[in-house]
Each structure stands twice: as C-alpha cells, then as structure tokens.
Amino acid sequence: MEILSVKTEPYSDQTLGTSGLRRKVSVVKQPHYLENFIQSVFDSLDNFEGKTLVIGGDGRYYNDTAIQALIKIAIANQFGRIIVGQNGILSTPATSHVIVKYKAIGGFILSASHNPGGPDADFGIKFDTEHGAPAPQDMTEKFTLRTREIDHFWWADIPDVNLSVIGEQTFGSTIVQVIDSVKDYADYMQEIFDFKRLKKMFQQGFTMTFDAMNAVTGPYAVRIFEELLGAKAGSVVHAKPLPDFGGLHPEPNLTYAKELVNRMSEDSAPDFGAASDGDGDRYMILGKSFPVNPSDSLAILAEYLDTIPFYQGKLKGVARSMPTSFAVDDVAKKKGLALYETPTGWKFFGNLLNAGKIALCGEESFGGGSSHLQEKDGIWAVLCWLSILEKTGKSVSELVHELWNQYGRVYTLLCNYDIADKKAAEAVISNLKEKLPHLVGQSVKDREITKAFVFAYTDPVTKEVTENQGICLYFEDTTRLIFRLSGTSSVGATLKVYINERITDEKKLNGEPFVVLSDLMQISMELSELKHLTGIQKPSIMT
C-alpha cells in the first residue's frame, strides 16, 4: 500500500456553522474540497496515530464517495482502527454512542441533517469529540484556520473499501471495521428504557406511526419499535434511507412532515405519532390531531424524566437553547432544578453535560437529549415519550393540557425568511442592533418593550464567552421576539424570527398559534424593517 502526499490549494470558505460544514453538493465536488477539510481536521488533532476513529452518515447523496475519501485519508494518517456503519449508515446519536463505547478519539458524521439531499441539494460533514459531543467552538475555529493554509493531504492508494459486509479488513497498520449500524445503539436503549413494560403496552393494543422521512432512522425505528417492542409491522413509514430522501425535506415540523400530520388527524389515527430528521438527532411528537410543540415537549420531559429508572436521582439541572420557549423554566423552578440558557446549537450543551450540571437539554427545533450521550437523540426522545405514556396511562394531549393548566401555555411561532442576498439579511440584524439602545420604553401596537439586548453566553464551566447569538426583545416577562440568522443554510441566508407569549387565561389555552401571535408577527416585521431592507413580505415557512 502506497501513502501519497498530495499537493493542494486552500479554499477560503470552509467555515463551520451551527452544526458542521454544510455546502451544496456542487461545491463539495470541487477538486480536493473534502480532502482539504478532512486533513485540516486531522492536522488540528493531537496523538491519534494508532487510535480509533468512527465514521457515520445519513446515507445521503455523495456520502459513498466521501466515506471512501475519508477512509483513505484516515488510513494514510495512521489511525489504528476505523469503525464504519454498514453501507456508511450510522445516525448522529448512534455515532456518538459508538465513539464512547469503543473509546475512539472522535468521529465524523457525513450529514447535512435536516437539509434536503440529492445532486442539486446539500452535503455536510460534522466532527464529534471523544465524548461523542459536537466539536466545540474553539475546536471548529482551529479546523477553519487550518483549512486556510493547508498545502497537502495524505492519501492511501488503495481500491475502494467494501462497506456492505460486517467484519474487519486490514490496510497496512489500520483495521477498517464495518459494524451493524443499529445493534450497539439498540442495545443501549434497552439499558435506559424498560422494554418489557413498553412491549406490554403494545401487546395491549397501543398503536403508533413513526415517519423516518426516508432518512437514517428507518432501520433503527424498525428494529426498536417493530421488532423489539412489537409495534405492528408497517408502523414505521418511509423506512428506507434514500440518497435524496425520496424528495422529502427531512426536517420534522408541521410543514415538512405533512403526511404524518394528516395521518394523525384521521379518525383511524394511531395513539401516537413521531418523526425524525435526516441524521436522526431530532424528533417530532404528535397525539391524535394534536401536534406537540417542541418547547412543550422539553417541559414534559423535564416533568417526567425521573420516572424513568435510569434517571432517578440524576436530574439536577436542565438546559435549553435561548430561542426555546420558557415552558421548561416553570417545571425546573417547581422541581428545584438548575436552568441554563445556551446559544443555538448542541455544541453548547457538551460542557454542562460533562460537568454533570444537567441531565436533560433541548432546543425548539425538536432537538432533545440527555446525559446518556452527548448528541441530540430523536429515537431516545420518542422512547422517553412512550415510557411517560406507559407510566401515566395518559394520552399525549392530556399530558400537554395538564402542563398548560398548571403553568399557562407558552405559544410559539417560528417564521423563517429565506433571503437570497446574505448582505441584506445581515443588514436586518445590524439595523436592529443599532436601534436597540432606544427601544426600551417604546410601545408598538400598545405593547411596551421592556428589555432589548443581544444575547451573549458565558459558559459556566470554561467561562468562555460567545457573543452575538441573536437579538432579544421582551414585552413584559411573558412575551418576546428573537431575531437570528440561521447557521445551517448552504446558500444565501435565513432570518429566523421566534415569537413566544405565555398565556395563563384558561379560556385562551386552545388557540391557534398563527392567530394568537399574529399581532406580534406584525410587530416583528415592523421593528425589523424587513420589507424595506430585503423586499420580503412574508415568511418562507412558519411553524
């Protein structure tokens, strides 16, 4: 086997966003684009020779080519063992678990998560640390710095490695080990949850539909829900990972998971509906004709997590990303749990989990996770919900209504504005920033602005400060608007406007968020001068 040193030129755009590097497939296909990035990651790590590396992915278009490049560069960089999911399939949470279980120094996940896949769509690559946690900010900054100066990468001159057969193959001093994509993860879920009790619930007639959206969770969901728990065959739909996700946009929300939403509103709907995203780290929960709001879901998990034996005595604190609604704050207060508010992106939860400050965390985008592993975990969240339903004997909507009756309902609305011109999108944020000092005390449509600031975060463990994480405007403590730019778009920019309002009036608990929050949406358009600065008049999606 020959190891080659290949000369290369740096690219200037390899900056990581909220969750790894995401680009159009056409960008990633440029000569050495991927090779440069991978070698830059290795150049930023210390002492990995002879150690283990994990490679996972969501099965999207171009992953097969990218995985072969990754393996060849990893062999040339002298890793001792490379663990790869069969056919390159390993969800984000499964990759995180495998990294820790096999004591790897880290791993790559080839996924652009919820972004669409296919030749004209998106490709992505993320790196997880030895803790199975998304690379923290200081590490991703190192990667980017290295990409700016790279002049060569190492390459093992071998034919493509067969990833379809489970087992080991040796190349020089490196073993490539192909593993069952599901087994380790499914075993772990059985350590956390009481599968016997859940199985009994299904035997007694409980029904569910899980929409894998033609993405990575299909094989996991079939094994866990149908084969191990005994949900009826066919309970998992869109179960085969496809390179273009069958044209679906694998982001579980009311717009993109329309088929599931419709199914759950039929008379014959099952008791429980769930979905997950491209790489299996997000989830969505629905009862009969009752979609659960992600922030409410986090509050429910906080309320009941310690009824699951694995967590008894472990729940000392919870964390939510800043745009996640304050529904969970009430539960934390009642239960005497510490509460942390972090910037958007799972990488900010890692230090809190590692330090044992929290056992549960979540995001408004339906990311949920716990101390069981350091990525967000869609199937885990679904198993939590199933365990809570089994334990309480209540329906999804009963549980959520109980939450609202106790604390009031925090209505939420997220408006995404896709803006082709990134500069125009940035102008919206900078314009708002300039206005901030004058906003407090001003009234818009009879609502007075009581606080206006740019969110910054000081990591309670490392004391590292992360600035500029979104603009927050409060109207009393019960209502707020948040403006931030998405860090996962592959072209142009997406302005995200999050609207939250807590309503405690019992008669107003069953409203429609689009209606209840429509005046706040108007206010957000006015204050941001969106139309004037971008020409855009309405959201690309609302959820």
Q: What share of the chain is helix, strand, coil (3-state, %, to 5)?
A: 35, 25, 40
Cβ proximity of 244 and 180 under 8 Å: no
In the bound state with Co ion, the residue whose beta carbon lies nearer, of 270 and 367, is: 367
d(CA 210, CA 227): 14
Neighbouring CB atoms inside 10 A of 394's CB total 14
- Nearest distance, CB of residue 372 and Co ion, angstroms: 17
Interface region with Co ion, contact rule CB under 5 A, candidates 27-35, 180-188, 278-286, 381-389: 278-286
Q: Binding of ligand VG1 at residue 52 (CB under 6 A)?
A: no
Binds ligand VG1 (CB under 6 A): choice among 60, 131, 480, 496: 496
Residues 96-115 contacting Co ion, CB under 5 A: 113
Q: Binding of ligand VG1 at residue 114 (CB under 6 A)?
A: yes
Please, what is the angle between helix 137-147 and helix 33-44, to 10°? 130
14 binds, among Co ion, ligand VG1, none (CB under 5 to 8 A by kind): none
- Nearest distance, CB of residue 50 and Co ion, angstroms: 32
Q: Binding of ligand VG1 at residue 113 (CB under 6 A)?
A: yes
487 binds, among Co ion, ligand VG1, none (CB under 5 to 8 A by kind): ligand VG1
36 binds, among Co ion, ligand VG1, none (CB under 5 to 8 A by kind): none
Q: Binding of Co ion at residue 95 (CB under 5 A)?
A: no
In the bound state with ligand VG1, the residue whose beta carbon lies nearer, of 40 and 321, is: 321
Q: Binding of ligand VG1 at residue 365 (CB under 6 A)?
A: yes
In the bound state with ligand VG1, the residue whose beta carbon lies nearer, of 182 and 284, is: 284
d(CA 270, CA 58): 27
Cβ proximity of 301 and 381 under 8 Å: yes
Provide the CB-side half-sphere exposure for 167 (13 A, CA): 6
CA proximity to 82, closest of 59, 37, 126, 50: 50
d(CA 508, CA 501): 12
Catalytic residue among 44, 91, 113, 295: 113
Interface region with ligand VG1, contact rule CB under 6 A, candidates 95-103, 153-161, 360-368, 511-519: 360-368
* Structure-token pair, residue 306: 């310690």
In one letter, which amino acid is 464?
E
- Nearest distance, CB of residue 27 and ligand VG1, angstroms: 18
The dihedrals phi and psi of 24, each to the nearest 5 degrees, come to -60, 150
Write the CB contacts of 412 (distance below 8 Å, at least 6 apart in sequence): 293, 295, 325, 364, 498, 499, 500, 513, 517
Tell me, what DSSP letter sits at residue 1?
Answer: -
Binding track over 397-436 against ligand VG1, x by CB under 6 A: ----------------------------------------
Instruction: Please report the DSSP string for 93-142 in residue order.
Output: HHHHHHHHHTT-SEEEEE--TTS--STTSEEEEEEE-TTS-BPPHHHHHH
325 binds, among Co ion, ligand VG1, none (CB under 5 to 8 A by kind): none
Q: How far is CA 67 from CA 19, 83, 84, 87, 181, in A?
A: 19, 11, 9, 10, 15
- Nearest distance, CB of residue 22 and Co ion, angstroms: 11
Active site residue 113: yes
Interface region with Co ion, contact rule CB under 5 A, candidates 100-108, 247-255, 277-285, 497-505: 277-285
Binds ligand VG1 (CB under 6 A): choice among 345, 350, 368, 539: 345
- Total site size for Co ion, rule CB under 5 A: 5
136 binds, among ligand VG1, Co ion, none (CB under 5 to 8 A by kind): none
214 binds, among Co ion, ligand VG1, none (CB under 5 to 8 A by kind): none
Interface region with ligand VG1, contact rule CB under 6 A, candidates 202-210, 362-370, 497-505, 533-541: 362-370
Place of tokens 């929300």: 253
In the bound state with Co ion, the residue whose beta carbon lies nearer, of 18 and 113, is: 113
410-438 in b/e burial notation, b at 16+ Cβ within 10 A? Answer: bbbbbbbbbbeeeebbebbbeebeebeee
Cβ proximity of 250 and 256 under 8 Å: yes
Q: Binding of Co ion at residue 35 (CB under 5 A)?
A: no
In the bound state with ligand VG1, the residue whose beta carbon lies nearer, of 488 and 528, is: 488
- Nearest distance, CB of residue 116 and ligand VG1, angstroms: 12
Q: How far is CA 277 from CA 212, 216, 263, in A?
A: 7, 8, 18
Binds ligand VG1 (CB under 6 A): choice among 14, 19, 39, 95: 19
The length of the chain, given as a count of residues = 543
Neighbouring CB atoms inside 10 A of 335's CB total 14
Please, what is the angle between helix 396-407 and helix 327-335, to 10°? 80
Residues 250-309 contacting ligand VG1, CB under 6 A: 277, 281-282
| H or E element at residue 482 | strand 479-485
- Total site size for ligand VG1, rule CB under 6 A: 18
Q: Binding of Co ion at residue 217 (CB under 5 A)?
A: no
List residues binding Co ion (CB under 5 A). Answer: 113, 277, 279, 281-282
Which are the catalytic amino acids? 113
**Residue ranges in contact with ligand VG1 by CB under 6 A:** 18-19, 113-114, 277, 281-282, 321, 344-346, 363, 365, 367, 486-488, 496
